[in-house]
């Protein structure tokens, strides 16, 4: 195992000498799939990459997902660069197998990872030739470039519903939901009909919940995960670069053929086109049992939540309901404002203005990956982005980069937690 410290760390008993420009690595913030893929791709280009992960293990966000989660993308199109997913994982890889894969990925490529270090702020280095990272324990780390890969699902988002603070019933965000066992025989309201909300509703039904209601504000597009062996992801890949309007038109007849009309059950077909919704950030719901559950009345679709009052949930249609528990599948925010918001690299919704191999205007050497949710599959796009970023860094980094000797490009040992 490597030593716990790195030359560029600021030790607790005093600052270490600042690294010279040619000694500076590329820092990758985040040890999820995007960060690991970027680190591997950078090393394959001969560039030293150091992953900074705030938790004690890689793949932290994946470890916290609900138990029944499986990828909606195929195993073959979900692998990261340099290592295929094992065939034994099956076509739709489970959460636990994704975690196993990420652990194996870091080990197989011997990536340089420092755990237990959270980066709070990124700014230009005083000499203007790189980036200065402010991290846990007062560390000040200087890198030639930075790849921000802190994740799409970073910080749980809970709407500011009136009365929410005084609600005394059981309330949890979907990030805290593991399985339906504790809710057997109980009345549960799931708020939000993205893929997470849809799967949790089905999981509750299959786990024996007494009643399951699904609060919906905007009816989603629903697609079959696979039809006659053809995965929905394959279609997503094929249409990825086509004009939005054309894809919208093509998707309408396909939806009518493959998905029944659920209007009578509270889920009408959306008026906005499928790909138009994707460009706005709304990925279609891939069916893993929701259609049948809604048709059979096992999942009841109700109006959107408007607030809480006297222990009841207020819905947009004026009704009040009293579930035993509320699960808010209301998504996440990127939470990048404190990290890079002062650099002018975020849009009005807190998302990076560019991603992949492009860098923001005025911020050369600052890259972002994993902050979009493409129709062709998140993991597939992370793999593509990683290789593009690595090539851009190697091409544009110049003399400031810490280069690896040719014999060392099989990476270095995984790092143990920093002090």
The vertex-39 CA angle with 33 and 41, nearest 5°, equals 100
Report d(CA 286, CA 193) in Å as an integer.
11
Are residues 259 and 305 both part of a single domain?
A: yes
pLDDT digits (tens, 9 = 90+) for 344-383: 999 999 999 999 999 999 999 999 999 988 899 999 999 9
Q: Where are the alpha helices (DSSP H) in 304-349?
A: 337-340
Structure token pair of residue 149:
């890969």
Q: What integer pLDDT is reported at residue 324 of this predicted model?
A: 96
Q: Count Cβ atoms within 10 A of the Cβ of residue 12 and give its class: 0-12 exposed, 13-18 middle, 19 or more buried.
A: exposed
Report d(CA 301, CA 342) in Å as an integer.
42
Boundary residue ending a domain (328, 359, 376): 328
Boundary residue ending a domain (312, 328, 344): 328
Give the pLDDT band (50/70/90) at residue 185. very high
Q: Backbone phi, then psi, for 299, in 5-degree steps?
A: -120, 120
Are residues 46 and 118 both part of a single domain?
A: yes
Report d(CA 418, CA 2) in Å as an integer.
11
Q: Is 48 helix (H, G, I), strand (E, B) or coil?
A: coil
pLDDT digits (tens, 9 = 90+) for 82-126: 999 999 999 999 999 999 999 999 999 999 999 999 999 999 999
Residue 301 bridge partners (DSSP): 214
Structure token pair of residue 79:
């692998």
The answer to whether residue 16 is domain-embedded is: no
pLDDT above 50: residue 13: no
Residue 134: CATH number of its domain: 3.50.50.60
The answer to whether residue 15 is domain-embedded is: no
pLDDT above 90: residue 69: yes
What is the radius of gyration, based on Cα positions, of the chain? 23
Is 265:298 a contact under the CB 8 Å cutoff? no
Are residues 47 and 139 both part of a single domain?
A: yes
Report d(CA 289, CA 199) in Å as an integer.
8
Is 308:163 a contact under the CB 8 Å cutoff? yes
Are residues 168 and 263 both part of a single domain?
A: yes
Are residues 321 and 342 both part of a single domain?
A: no
The answer to whether residue 181 is domain-embedded is: yes
Give the pLDDT band (50/70/90) at residue 67. very high
Are residues 281 and 163 both part of a single domain?
A: yes
Q: pTM for the complete prediction?
A: 0.89
Q: What integer pLDDT is reported at residue 154 of this predicted model?
A: 85
> For the chain, what is the domain count?
2
Q: Kindly list the strands in the beta sheet with 312-315, ordered across the sheet, starting from the edge strand earlier in the chain.
A: 305-309, 312-315, 320-321
Boundary residue ending a domain (304, 328, 352): 328
Are residues 121 and 88 both part of a single domain?
A: yes
For residue 228, CA distances in Å to 118, 225, 231, 258, 296 come to 45, 10, 8, 11, 23
Closest CA to 73 of 40, 103, 98: 98
Are residues 172 and 84 both part of a single domain?
A: no
Q: Domain containing 96: what range?
A: 21-154+334-408
């Amino acid at each position: 195992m490597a030593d716990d410290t790195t030359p560029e760390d600021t030790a607790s008993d005093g600052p270490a000498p600042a690294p010279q420009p040619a000694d500076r690595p590329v820092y990758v913030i985040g040890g999820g799939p995007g960060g690991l893929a970027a680190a591997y791709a950078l090393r394959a280009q001969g560039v030293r990459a150091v992953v900074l992960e705030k938790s004690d293990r890689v793949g932290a966000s994946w470890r916290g997902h609900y138990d029944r989660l499986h990828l909606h993308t195929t195993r073959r199109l979900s692998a990261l660069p340099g290592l295929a997913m094992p065939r034994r994982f099956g076509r739709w890889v489970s959460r636990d197998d994704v975690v196993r894969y990420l652990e194996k990925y870091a080990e197989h490529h011997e990536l340089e990872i420092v755990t237990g270090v959270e980066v709070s702020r990124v700014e230009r280095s005083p000499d203007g030739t790189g980036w200065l990272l402010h991290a846990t324990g007062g560390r000040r780390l200087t890198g030639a470039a930075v790849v921000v890969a802190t994740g799409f699902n970073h910080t749980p988002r809970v709407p500011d519903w009136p009365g929410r603070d005084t609600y005394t019933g059981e309330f949890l965000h979907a990030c805290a939901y593991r399985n339906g066992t504790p809710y057997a025989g109980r009345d549960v309201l799931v708020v939000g009909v993205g893929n997470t909300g849809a799967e949790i509703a089905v999981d509750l039904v299959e786990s024996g919940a007494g009643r399951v209601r699904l609060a919906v504000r905007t009816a989603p597009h629903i697609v079959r995960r696979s039809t006659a062996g053809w995965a929905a992801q394959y279609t997503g890949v094929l249409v990825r670069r086509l004009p939005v309007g054309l894809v919208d038109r093509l998707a309408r007849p396909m939806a009518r053929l493959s998905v029944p009309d659920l209007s009578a059950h509270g889920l009408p077909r959306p008026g906005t086109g499928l790909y138009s919704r994707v460009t706005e950030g709304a990925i279609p719901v891939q069916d893993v049992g929701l259609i049948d559950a809604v048709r059979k009345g096992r999942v009841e679709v109700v109006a959107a939540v408007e607030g809480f009052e006297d222990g009841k949930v207020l819905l947009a249609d004026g009704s009040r309901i009293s579930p035993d528990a509320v699960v808010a599948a209301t998504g996440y925010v990127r939470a990048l404002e404190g990290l890079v918001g002062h650099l002018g690299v975020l849009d009005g919704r807190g998302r990076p203005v560019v991603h992949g191999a492009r860098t923001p205007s005025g911020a050369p050497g600052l890259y972002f990956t994993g902050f979009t949710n493409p129709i062709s599959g998140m993991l597939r796009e992370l793999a593509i982005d990683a290789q593009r970023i690595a090539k851009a860094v190697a091409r544009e980094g110049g003399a400031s980069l810490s280069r690896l000797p040719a014999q060392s490009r099989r990476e270095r040992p995984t790092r143990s937690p920093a002090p």
